[in-house]
């Protein structure tokens, strides 16, 4: 495991460097779109800690992403706090939010858990979209102040890449640790974990909180790179989009979520440049993938040489047997 | 806030809830009984509403709506069966993931095609003459059209009850809700059953779309709007339970309508708050399905 | 040898001269790029599509006249899916690729974002066609923006000015629950009380945006027994409200003393269901502009010839954006941002809605607000507003000291 981990870590760093080096290839005018994709990739990776590894299908991950972004925006735009204060505030309050929503959401199981997270994010969405004085309502907040060194597309891209890489490395460490092993064991066979003396609820709780905090950190990145927030970031559409990205890329492959984000976001951005039918093209693409790769594209790459180098599964063995929690929903 | 206002609100809430029921009942059947999660279920509703506006524009309010009520659900049925047999059938094997992806993609595709075909501008049709205006009961004005929605939904619910209680398909559906694994084991053609239930669900959504059309604006946002509410209804009512969905739909409709009397920011937050509350207290909804969590 | 040297020198001279003149010649041949990020899909697709058609028509007409400063115009557009962040990304990209003028997106959230994050930052002349958000010209004002729609201050002021002359005292306020609606409602409440000290607001209702049932709002408004119902409902909300209110006799009950934002598309969609006798306001009423200034006539007939239908308000606003910018370029004799914006501040333009000036301190177009009663028009084959009063922008607009006060300086 250790050896594997080192190779993976190196790969991640190389991938991060490659993403940073995109600035040499991508025209300057397209860079913000690329930066946005990197931010979403980090968010999808944090979501997959829940989906692929804990078997918790969260549909409301936008809650944390939006929360992180909104705390920074409110702090900066409404109260004129400096960015570092905003970030500290965002992350510390995200811990509280993650703990509270974990307590609520984890009461429900399987798909009901997903729907409960969806309901939570929708309640938060309506709250944000209707509190005009605090959040700017549906117009959102524009004009987040960043320090001078951060006020360029280049710097923002590097920050997004840096944070996303760090988040991925952290996730890799978590998954390679005994905790990661328990998490997957729990996903596949909760009774066994319990009978061996583990506390399934505690483990899931910790995973949920970590994923929530990491998503909030990506939300901070979104606030910094966009210098603006708007409420759809919190709504279920963001949560559902991230879910589809993870599913499309492959939830049982470590880097699957990134693959899903890159494919979907690049397609949409490109199509939008030329046509108003991005929904049609993205929709057909997703349908095609559903038929060709119901388990996501990542796993189908695993057989190939490319796939092995791309960073095969953290848990190849489990990929063959879909977790039990999902079977219950699909008799 | 007097009693009459509350009564008017309750009637309005029941009428809204009736539409929710028509969409949610089909969804709860295919999901609860056959494990099919169709995020694009609201697309049937939207397609039906647009088709109804076209027929009414061509044939006039009376004849047009009557035709729509007969023809449109059948068209939606054909569409749903075609989708089920050509696309959905291929992804059941992989569990919910293939279905989530497929139906999410479908939702986007149908929405784009409807926008291209019917335009992005909201459409509107008038109700037939005899359904315009109101009746006054206990000094409360009740819109005739709302009552017509209630009557239609009542008829459909009766038919549904008949179908579930008396027909072979109904028995199979109930059996599937109780124990899905048994169904295949005793030699039931689950494949055909899925197609049939998907068809029934689409017809219900189609009827809802047609009767909802004269009530308000028809545009390309109603598909997602209704399906999200339908999921909330299902969760509150209990997966696979048609009658649970009925109670939940009315509850949601009434809660939404009454809440607008006390809070000034629309009712949707109430739906999700209710959903979160129900799941928090009863993590599997009101109706717990044996053997599945 | 000498000959050759002289020839070489001559050739060099010709080359240099050629290069000197070649640059402007090449530029003259190249079209001027106008960038537009439109809400072509997503929640505001109905508005975005029309704005796009309006902009396209304007560019065709300008090019038909030979373009600006002898150069043709080229519209490059992208679909932002009604998403503010996408709008910002797309606008930024198109400007960096050489666009000289930007059409802001249609929804308010996106327009506000583009105003702050693109227009001001990249110093690019930007026209806001449809958003009425006050912030754009007041709090978030930056010198490269100009707006073609009366902002929410102006519309509310115009309506309050007109209503204050009427004997109504008890007002009801209805708006969908969104930032623009809330701000319009707040301004109206403030102005009507200021202009008519006897006026009081007896009930306020803010149903959710895109609501499917308005029974509660309708009944609550009726229960408060208002003399006049002011609303800022439009589009799908106005259609749904109208039908449900009509069904229970709301409009008779309030003697048709009801006002809404009856834009052309909504009136057309309502068709026979439009409540004749209720009042409304509009941004670019086709029945007025088609009979007014020459520019208005050319616009309506051009649009009808091209698209087979009469244009909506949204098309007219976007059309004016392009036309005004083109005139500013001609007046400035330059496409450079600072020269163009200077011309915006100092020129009197010819718009679809007649002569038009912009505030030097806020670049707010001093466009009129059209108020009238709903009628069924045989000529246009759809319901229209029979415009009773045209309140000039110069009267409705906030004065310079008011703007400075609202900006907090």
Phi, psi of A60 (to 5 degrees): -125, 35
* pLDDT band at residue C56 using 50, 70 and 90 as cut-offs: very high
pLDDT reported for residue B260: 78
- A positions 111-130 inside 8 Å of C (CB): 130
Chain A residue with Cα closest to B239: A112
Domain boundaries, chain C: 31-150+289-367, 153-282+369-396
On whether any CB of chain A is under 8 Å from the CB of B86, the answer is no
Instruction: Let me know the angle formed at the C-alpha of B197 by B195 and B290, rounded to the nearest 5 degrees.
Output: 120
Kindly tell me if the per-residue pLDDT of A53 is higher than 80.
yes
Number of H helices, E strands in chain C: 18, 14
Using DSSP's 3-state secondary structure scheme, residue C363 falls into coil
Query: Which of these ranges, B153-167, B204-218, C4-18, C369-383, has the smallest mean pLDDT?
Result: C4-18
pLDDT reported for residue C8: 53
pLDDT reported for residue A2: 39
B35: in domain: yes
Query: Which of these ranges, A108-122, A280-294, C6-20, has the smallest mean pLDDT?
Result: C6-20
Long-range CB pairs of C288-295 (<8 Å, 24+ gap) are C288/C370, C288/C387, C288/C390, C289/C316, C289/C352, C289/C353, C292/C353, C292/C354, C293/C350, C293/C351, C293/C352, C293/C353, C293/C354, C293/C355, C294/C350, C295/C323, C295/C350, C295/C351, C295/C352
Q: Mean pLDDT score of chain A, rounded to an integer?
A: 87
Chain A residue with Cα closest to C178: A138
> C212, B216: Cβ pair inside 8 Å?
yes
User: CA of B55, closest CA in chain C: separation in Å?
Assistant: 15
Superfamily of the domain at C31-150+289-367: Response regulator (3.40.50.2300)
* Structural domains counted in chain B: 1
CB contact at 8 A, C218 and C188: no
User: CA of B248, closest CA in chain A: separation in Å?
Assistant: 16
On whether any CB of chain A is under 8 Å from the CB of C152, the answer is no
* pLDDT band at residue A328 using 50, 70 and 90 as cut-offs: very low
> C273, B257: Cβ pair inside 8 Å?
no
Q: For chain C, give the longest Cα–Cα distance.
A: 105
> C208, B5: Cβ pair inside 8 Å?
no
Dist. CA C125–CA C33, nearest whole Å: 12
Dist. CA C348–CA C360, nearest whole Å: 12
> A228, C80: Cβ pair inside 8 Å?
no
pLDDT reported for residue A313: 45
- Over residues C358-368, the mean pLDDT reads 96
Query: Which chain B residues are Cβ-neighbours of C217 within 8 angstroms?
Result: 260
Query: Which of these ranges, A44-53, A142-151, C24-33, has the smallest mean pLDDT?
Result: C24-33
Dist. CA B160–CA B171, nearest whole Å: 12
Kindly tell me if the per-residue pLDDT of A325 is higher than 80.
no
Kindly tell me if the per-residue pLDDT of B31 is higher than 80.
yes
Chain B residue with Cα closest to C208: B266
Q: C226-280 pLDDT, tens per residue?
A: 999 999 999 999 999 999 999 999 999 999 999 999 999 999 999 999 999 999 9
> B134, C249: Cβ pair inside 8 Å?
yes
Q: A150-206 pLDDT, tens per residue?
A: 999 999 999 999 999 999 999 999 998 888 888 888 888 877 777 777 788 899 999
Dist. CA A161–CA C203, nearest whole Å: 52
Query: Which chain C residues are Cβ-neighbours of A276 within 8 angstroms?
Result: 40-41, 45, 79
DSSP string, chain B: --HHHHHHHHHHHHHHHHHHHHHHHHHHHHHHHH----TTHHHHHHHHHHHHHHHHHHH-HHHHHHHHHHHHHHHHHHHHHHHIIIIIHHHGGGTHHHHHHHHHHHHHHHHHHHHHHH-SS-B--PPPGGGSSEEEETTEEEEHHHHHHHHHHHHHHHHHHHHHHHSHHHHHHHHHHH-HHHHHHTT--HHHHHHHHHHHHHHHHHHHHHHHGGGS-B-TTHHHHHHHHHHHHHHHH-TT-HHHHHHHHHHHHHHHHHHHHH-SS-SHHHHHHHHHHHHHHSTT-SSPPTT--
Query: Which chain C residues are Cβ-neighbours of B12 within 8 angstroms?
Result: 213, 215-216
pLDDT reported for residue C16: 45
* pLDDT band at residue B267 using 50, 70 and 90 as cut-offs: low
pLDDT reported for residue B2: 73
DSSP state of C383: E
Q: Which residues partner with C174 through β-bridges? A: C205, C231
- Over residues B248-267, the mean pLDDT reads 82
Q: C62-94 pLDDT, tens per residue?
A: 999 999 999 999 999 999 999 999 999 999 999
Phi, psi of B143 (to 5 degrees): -65, 135
Q: Mean pLDDT score of chain B, rounded to an integer?
A: 88
User: Residue holding tokens 């944090």?
Assistant: A46
DSSP state of A276: S
- Over residues A228-248, the mean pLDDT reads 93
Q: In the β-sheet with C228-231, what is the strand arrangement from edge to edge?
A: C200-205, C170-174, C228-231, C258-261, C279-282, C369-377, C382-391
B133: in domain: yes
- List of chains touching B (3+ CB pairs within 8 A): A, C
User: CA of B219, closest CA in chain C: separation in Å?
Assistant: 8
Q: What tokens appear for C364 in the block?
A: 């707010």
B207: in domain: yes
Dist. CA B184–CA A96, nearest whole Å: 47
* pLDDT band at residue C208 using 50, 70 and 90 as cut-offs: confident
Among B276, B277, B281, most A C-beta atoms within 10 A, so best to mutate, is: B276
pLDDT reported for residue C409: 67
Query: Which chain B residues are Cβ-neighbours of A47 within 8 angstroms?
Result: none
Query: Which chain B residues are Cβ-neighbours of C237 within 8 angstroms?
Result: 217
DSSP state of C84: H
Range of the domain at B171: 26-221
Superfamily of the domain at C153-282+369-396: Response regulator (3.40.50.2300)
Chain C residue with Cα closest to A232: C83
Kindly tell me if the per-residue pLDDT of A249 is higher than 50.
yes
* pLDDT band at residue A317 using 50, 70 and 90 as cut-offs: very low
B277: in domain: no
On whether any CB of chain A is under 8 Å from the CB of B91, the answer is yes
Kindly tell me if the per-residue pLDDT of B293 is higher than 50.
no
Long-range CB pairs of B57-61 (<8 Å, 24+ gap) are B57/B125, B61/B125, B61/B126, B61/B127, B61/B128, B61/B129, B61/B214
> C88, A32: Cβ pair inside 8 Å?
yes
Rounded to whole angstroms, what are the CA distances from B195 to B48, B80, B122, B191? Answer: 19, 8, 33, 7
Domain boundaries, chain A: 2-234
B14: in domain: no
On whether any CB of chain C is under 8 Å from the CB of A228, the answer is yes
On whether any CB of chain A is under 8 Å from the CB of C113, the answer is yes
User: CA of C76, closest CA in chain A: separation in Å?
Assistant: 9
DSSP string, C230-243: EE---HHHHHHHHH
């Amino acid at each position: 495991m250790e050896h594997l981990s080192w190779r993976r870590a190196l790969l991640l760093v190389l991938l991060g460097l490659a993403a940073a080096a995109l600035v040499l290839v991508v025209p300057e005018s397209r860079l913000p779109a690329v930066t946005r994709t990197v931010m979403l990739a980090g968010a999808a990776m944090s979501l997959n800690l829940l989906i692929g590894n804990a078997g918790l299908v969260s549909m409301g991950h936008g809650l944390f992403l939006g929360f992180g972004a909104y705390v920074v925006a409110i702090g900066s735009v409404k109260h004129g706090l400096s960015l570092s204060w905003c970030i500290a505030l965002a992350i510390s309050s995200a811990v509280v939010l993650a703990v509270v929503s974990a307590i609520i959401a984890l009461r429900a199981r399987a798909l009901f858990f997903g729907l409960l997270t969806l309901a939570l994010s929708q309640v938060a969405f309506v709250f944000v979209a209707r509190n005009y004085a605090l959040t700017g309502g549906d117009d959102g907040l524009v004009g987040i102040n960043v320090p001078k060194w951060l006020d360029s597309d280049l710097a923002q891209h590097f920050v997004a890449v840096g944070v996303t890489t760090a988040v991925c490395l952290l996730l890799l460490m978590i998954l390679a640790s005994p905790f990661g092993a328990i998490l997957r064991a729990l996903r596949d066979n909760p009774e066994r974990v319990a009978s061996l003396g583990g506390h399934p609820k505690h483990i899931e709780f910790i995973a949920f909180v970590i994923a929530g905090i990491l998503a909030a950190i990506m939300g901070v990145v979104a606030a910094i790179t966009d210098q603006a927030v708007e409420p759809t970031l919190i709504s279920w559409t963001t949560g559902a989009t991230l879910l589809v990205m993870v599913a499309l890329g492959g939830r049982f492959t470590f880097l699957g979520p990134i693959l899903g984000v890159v494919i979907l976001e690049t397609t949409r951005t490109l199509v939008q440049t030329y046509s108003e039918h991005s929904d049609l093209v993205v929709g057909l693409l997703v349908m095609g993938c559903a038929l060709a790769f119901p388990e996501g594209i990542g796993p189908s790459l695993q057989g190939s040489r490319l796939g092995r180098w791309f960073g095969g599964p953290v848990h190849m063995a489990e990929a063959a047997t879909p977790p039990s929690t999902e079977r219950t929903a699909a008799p | 806030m007097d009693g009459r206002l509350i009564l008017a609100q309750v009637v309005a809430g029941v009428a809204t809830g009736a539409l929710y029921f028509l969409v949610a009942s089909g969804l709860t059947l295919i999901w609860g009984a056959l494990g099919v999660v169709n995020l694009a279920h609201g697309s049937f509703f939207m397609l039906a509403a647009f088709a109804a506006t076209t027929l009414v524009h061509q044939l006039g309010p009376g004849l047009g709506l009557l035709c729509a009520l007969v023809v449109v659900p059948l068209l939606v049925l054909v569409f749903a069966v075609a989708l089920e047999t050509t696309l959905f059938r291929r992804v059941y094997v992989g569990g919910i993931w293939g279905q989530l992806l497929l139906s999410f993609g479908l939702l986007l595709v149908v929405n784009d095609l409807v926008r291209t075909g019917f335009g992005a501008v909201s459409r509107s049709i008038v109700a037939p003459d005899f359904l315009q205006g109101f009746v006054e009961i206990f000094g409360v004005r009740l819109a005739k059209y709302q009552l017509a929605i209630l009557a239609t939904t009542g008829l459909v619910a009766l038919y549904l009850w008949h179908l579930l209680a008396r027909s072979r398909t109904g028995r199979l559906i109930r059996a599937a809700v109780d124990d899905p694994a048994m169904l295949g084991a005793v030699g039931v053609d689950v494949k055909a059953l899925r197609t049939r239930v998907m068809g029934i669900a689409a017809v219900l959504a189609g009827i809802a779309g047609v009767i909802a059309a004269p009530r308000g604006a028809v545009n390309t946002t109603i598909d997602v709007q209704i399906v999200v509410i339908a999921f909330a209804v299902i969760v509150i009512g209990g997966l696979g339970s048609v009658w649970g969905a009925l109670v939940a739909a009315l509850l949601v409709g009434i809660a939404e309508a009454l809440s607008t009397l006390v809070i000034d920011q629309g009712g949707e937050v109430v739906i999700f708050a209710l959903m979160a509350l129900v799941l928090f207290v009863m993590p599997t909804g009101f109706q717990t399905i044996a053997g599945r969590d | 040898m000498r000959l050759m040297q002289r020839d070489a020198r001559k050739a060099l001279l010709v080359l240099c001269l050629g290069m000197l003149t070649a640059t402007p010649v090449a530029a003259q041949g190249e079209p001027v790029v106008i960038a537009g990020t439109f809400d072509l899909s997503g929640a505001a697709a109905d508005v975005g599509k029309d704005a796009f058609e309006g902009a396209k028509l304007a560019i065709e007409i300008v090019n038909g006249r030979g373009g600006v400063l002898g150069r043709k115009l080229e519209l490059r557009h992208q679909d932002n899916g009604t998403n503010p962040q996408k709008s910002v990304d797309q606008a930024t990209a198109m400007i960096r690729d050489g666009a000289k003028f930007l059409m802001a997106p249609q929804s308010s959230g996106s327009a506000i974002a583009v105003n702050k994050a693109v227009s001001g930052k990249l110093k690019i002349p930007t026209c806001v066609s449809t958003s009425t958000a006050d912030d754009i010209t007041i709090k978030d004002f930056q010198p490269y923006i100009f707006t073609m729609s009366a902002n929410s201050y102006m519309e509310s002021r115009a309506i309050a000015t007109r209503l204050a002359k009427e004997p109504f005292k008890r007002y009801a306020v209805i708006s969908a629950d969104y930032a623009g609606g809330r701000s319009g409602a707040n301004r109206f409440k403030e102005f009507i009380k200021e202009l008519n000290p006897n006026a009081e607001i007896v009930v306020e209702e803010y149903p959710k945006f895109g609501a499917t049932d308005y029974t509660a709002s309708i009944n609550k408004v009726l229960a408060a027994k208002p003399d006049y119902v002011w609303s800022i409902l439009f589009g799908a909300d106005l259609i749904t409200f109208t039908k449900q209110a009509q069904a229970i006799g709301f409009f008779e009950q309030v003697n048709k003393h009801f006002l809404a934002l009856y834009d052309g598309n909504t009136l057309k969609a309502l068709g026979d269901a439009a409540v004749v006798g209720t009042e409304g306001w509009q941004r670019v009423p086709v029945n007025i502009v088609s009979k007014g200034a020459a520019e208005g006539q050319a616009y309506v007939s051009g649009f009808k010839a091209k698209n087979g239908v009469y244009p909506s308000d949204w098309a007219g606003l976007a059309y004016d954006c392009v036309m005004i910018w083109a005139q500013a370029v001609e007046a400035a004799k330059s496409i450079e941002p600072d020269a163009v914006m200077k011309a915006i501040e100092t020129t009197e333009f010819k718009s679809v809605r007649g002569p038009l000036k912009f505030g030097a301190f806020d670049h707010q177009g001093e466009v009129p607000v059209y108020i009238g009663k709903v009628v069924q028009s045989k000529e246009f084959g759809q319901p229209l507003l029979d415009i009773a009063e045209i309140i000039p922008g110069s009267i409705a607009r906030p004065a310079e000291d008011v703007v400075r006060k609202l900006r907090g300086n």
